[in-house]
Structure 1
Amino acid sequence: MIVRISEIQVHAQHLEQYKAILQEEAEASVRLEPGVIAIFPMSRRDSDTEFRILEIYASRQAYEAHLKTPHFQKYKSGTLHMVKSLKLVDMHATDAQTMGTMFRKMPNR
């Protein structure tokens, strides 16, 4: 499994457009890709131009396949000029067994 946190800061003048493209990409990734466990975008409460995206992939192969999808390519090329800074932080799950429980607890909506 791959767990990553993307730390992104966008230029304020592109905020609404960035959020729309990000939402579209995250939804398509989870819906269309079996190897994408989660793409969960969040913005900081104290800075609406700073985002964190929790990304969880079933495997390295799933992550590499994700990078080649049309929806990710559209996101990447469409937002490149909007992004002020990007940092990708690879994480290690300290309790991978319990991690799956989180998703089972969420009610279907």
Structure 2
Amino acid sequence: MDIRQLVFLGASVLAAPAPGPAMADDMLYVQQAEIEIDPAQLDAYRAAVTEQIETAIRVEPGVLALYAVSEQENPARVKVFEIYRDTDAYRSHLETAHFKKYKATVENMVRSLKLVRTTPIMLGTKPK
């Protein structure tokens, strides 16, 4: 799956009609991971995060969107924007085999990690 397909998949999930209040913004678990990667291992990190995101989106119903981007001026600075159905979906994600594999794989690649819990103001996507 390439980045366009991944972005489209995430946008499709967010644009899909939601039954009742289960998708209310105050129910979502949304955070941003700010990650500093060892520049010498950037390609290996990109492969690991790509595999992790593709798997999570495909197999976890509670994972609504995961977007990984790097800064143009400093590609070793990566941000992952994460949207989960709720806190339980986030906690469940942390216990999956694919997430644990990702964490073990990138352990020596990550120089720093900061998780920033966010409150959605407006999440918008264009339909297809």
CA RMSD of aligned residues (A): 1.0
Q: What is the alpha-carbon distance in structure 2 between the residues aligned to residue 80 and residue 39 of structure 1? A: 20
The reply on whether 1:2 has 2:29 as its aligned counterpart is yes
1:106 to partner: Cα distance: 4.6
The reply on whether 1:71 has 2:98 as its aligned counterpart is yes
Residue pairs, 1:1-109, within 5 angstroms: 1-95=28-122, 99=123, 101-102=124-125, 105-107=126-128
Residue aligned with 2:107, SS: helix
Q: What is the alpha-carbon distance in structure 2 between the residues aligned to residue 68 and residue 51 of structure 1? A: 22
TM-score normalized by structure 1?
0.89
Q: Which runs of 5+ in 2 are unaligned?
A: 1-27
Q: Which amino acid aligns with 1:79?
A: V
Q: What is the alpha-carbon distance in structure 2 between the residues aligned to residue 81 and residue 24 of structure 1? A: 17
Structure with the largest fraction of strand = 1
Per-residue CA shift, 1:10-52, capped at 9, x if unaligned?
1011110010000000111111100000111000111011100
Q: Which runs of 5+ in 1 are unaligned?
A: none
Aligned residues: 101
Q: After the TM superposition, which parts of structure 1 deviate over 3 Å for at least 4 consecutive aligned residues?
A: none
Residue aligned with 1:61, SS: helix
Residue aligned with 2:36, SS: strand
Q: What is the alpha-carbon distance in structure 1 between the residues aligned to residue 78 and residue 127 of structure 2? A: 23
1:93 to partner: Cα distance: 0.7
TM-score normalized by structure 2?
0.76
